[in-house]
Structure 1
Amino acid sequence: MKSGYHPLAQIVRRFRNRTVGVLGDFMLDELLVGEATRISPEAPVPILLLPPEDRPFDKLTVRLRPLSMSGAEGRVVSEVEPRQRFPGGAGNVAANIRALDGRPIPFGAIGRDESGENVRKLLGARGVSCRTLIADPRRATPRKVRIVSHPHQLLRLDFERPERISAATESKLARQISRAMNELGALVISDYRKGTVTTELVERISVQ
């Protein structure tokens, strides 16, 4: 363990005060966390208990099965946030770089929609400037909702319409990256095949 720890720690420390560009698909990740109370009489699926719709962010008291291999019986009572939101995809990369005291610059296209606005707010709350994120009214910001009853993920819902970015958006991204290139210590490409990272865009920035 020791032999692998020091190089990793050195890499982590190098992020401090470094400016890192993040090009890719910025998405909204959402967790719906509840307690599976019983099996539905309509189909062999669990019924998940969640707060009322008019109070979606109220904490929920759930009984969690202990994560133990001993076979011990009983449950642990715990309070959980039933609805949790995070920057996903390239947004998660940018947030992690900021958490390492780096300075991420996000390059990508989100929709002019509620999910896109949430991505901006979540990144801003983590100290990531979003002035270089392009809001394209023709795009839909990908949103992934994971439905969880601890310790199991029951289902994932993907709200998205993967489409290649327009030529105008591609050119704007290329110009933004070109202007920032001299201050970047690195450029991370986070491609989830949602249409932001095109072959032409990569070719345009790779020759700079």
Structure 2
Amino acid sequence: MGIITATTSNDWVCPLKVTLPDFSNAKILVIGDIMLDRYWHGGTSRISPEAPVPVVNVLEAEDRAGGAGNVALNISALGSKVTLCGITGQDEAADSLTKLLNNHKIQCSFDQRSHQNTITKLRIISRHQQLIRLDFEKDFSLQSGVNLDLVSELIEQHDLVVLSDYGKGTLQDPQSIIQAARKAGKLVVVDPKGSDFSKYQNATVITPNQSEFDIVAGKSANEEEFLNKGQQQRKSLNLDALLVTRSEKGMALFEQGLEPFLQPTQAREVFDVTGAGDTVVAALATCLASGFDHKSATQIANLAAGIVVAKLGTATATRQELLNVMLQHQPLSQGVVTEAELIELIQHSKASGETLVMTNGCFDILHAGHVAYLKQAAALGDRLIVAVNGDDSVRRLKGEGRPVNPVDQRMEVLAGLASVDWVVEFSEDTPARLIGECLPDLLVKGGDYKPDQIAGGDAVMKNGGQVIILDFVDGVSTTKIIEKARG
């Protein structure tokens, strides 16, 4: 069997082009088991006289959204619109969850029941050690699952449905939800639970971890057997894709008609794997809802998981963090670019928080003054863009006989300088239009100009940027070099 794989984890390289869509256009519905994770922190200095247990003086209380709520938080952190649906009680815990989730721009559509308590897990912590966990939990499966009429109405309002199954009874009939969503033309991503995956058949993709997969398919003796079982499970469940998360082995994606795609874990120091599975589901769903194919969505989900395991506690990954990691593994190209290429590069650079510096000129004969000036300009930010007058523009500005060197040669020489990131040509007499398109953070010019005399300066300052004037090196200029050469 052929296998598509990326590089080893030690040489991990982002195989995607450094670009992400605007996730805010995606509308995602999360349905699943909703829990409140409650933490009580306090000091311990004595043992109870009533029993041999420590006495904790509770000084701080903290509430977090758990279960499907954490999936919703991860989706919101990426910038998508998200609604959370599941069963809660009509109690203080549900009120706390609603407030917490609303603060993260998550719409809550709870199936609230007066006879039921919101699932709550209370942890007593002292000196960074968990002393005990108290679960307040009534099995929803003894009653009935989430209201299907409520779910059907919500499905119509969203692009994609996530089923986050923690086995607590909210998703007693996932097949009815999957069928309703697929009939409405919606994608369905399932984070499964239990030993029977048949209840999730016909979903778009399910995302078991290796242990969950082994329970259903049986433990594999080797990699080839695992890959065969993955293909068989995807086919038998009639899934578009099956994604198995494999801890230190990364991820394995199985799609119809394609060889398995193996994505190694990104090389990264691991602090805490808590909630990493929720992050994978959230990132995968957000990417699919934004138009990514399964392979690309898997790669992004892998990046997101790498971000959260490097954080302590249950955490989320943001779109900005994803862009930063992608840029670390696939730096933006440098050199001579077209205007269209430059605009795209600028978008990525700004998204990663870099400071852009831009300058312009003819640079007919590159001399020591130019080099010193460009080095000073580059030191002001993270990226230096040099806009170069085209040949006709130089001729109009400098007269016949100029330029001495054609524009392609002038740009190549500039691109060879360590201080310069991108070189682009403009055809007009001034770069005002181009600068207005690029809108750098800093517009730099050499000479005795005033900021309001610099072409494009008004657009930069209106956008919140600055115009900076640098001194040229005395006694060095292209015109003087040419005059000296001519005798």
CA distance in 2, matches of 1:44, 1:8: 57
CA distance in 2, matches of 1:119, 1:90: 12
CA drift of 1:150 comes to 2.9
Q: Decide which of 23, 27, 38 is 2:35's aligned counterpart.
A: 27
Aligned: 1:114 with 2:85: no
CA drift of 1:41 comes to 3.9
Q: Decide which of 16, 34, 40 is 2:23's aligned counterpart.
A: 16
1:91 is matched with which residue? 69
Task: Give the direction of change, closer, same or farther, for the CA distance of 1:109–1:149 in structure 2 (3 Å limit).
Answer: same
1:102 is matched with which residue? 80
| Higher-Rg member (1/2) | 2
Structure 1 segments (4+ residues) deviating >4 Å: 1-5, 7-11
Task: Give the direction of change, closer, same or farther, for the CA distance of 1:5–1:34 in structure 2 (3 Å limit).
Answer: farther
Any residues of structure 2 matched to 1:2-81 within 5 Å, and which? 4=12, 6=14, 16-17=23-24, 18-51=26-59
CA distance in 1, matches of 2:103, 2:115: 26
Q: Deviations over 1:15-39 (max 9, x none)?
A: 8212222110112111001112133
Task: Give the direction of change, closer, same or farther, for the CA distance of 1:141–1:43 in structure 2 (3 Å limit).
Answer: same
- Confirm or deny: 8 A CA contact 1:15 1:100 kept in the other structure: no
Aligned: 1:140 with 2:120: no
- Confirm or deny: 8 A CA contact 1:21 1:105 kept in the other structure: yes
Q: CA RMSD in A?
A: 2.9
CA drift of 1:145 comes to 0.5
- Confirm or deny: 8 A CA contact 1:105 1:129 kept in the other structure: yes
Count residues with an aligned counterpart: 172
Bigger proportion of residues as strand: 1
CA drift of 1:195 comes to 1.4
CA drift of 1:8 comes to 9.7
Task: Give the direction of change, closer, same or farther, for the CA distance of 1:203–1:93 in structure 2 (3 Å limit).
Answer: closer
CA distance in 1, matches of 2:155, 2:36: 27
Q: Deviations over 1:75-106 (max 9, x none)?
A: xxxxxxx1001122111211121122121111
CA drift of 1:196 comes to 0.7
Higher relative contact order (CA 8 A, sep 6+): 1
Counterpart of 1:194 in structure 2: which amino acid? K
Identity of aligned residues (%): 34
Counterpart of 2:105 in structure 1: which amino acid? G
- Confirm or deny: 8 A CA contact 2:111 2:147 kept in the other structure: no
Q: Decide which of 158, 165, 181 is 1:191's aligned counterpart.
A: 165
2:103 is matched with which residue? 125
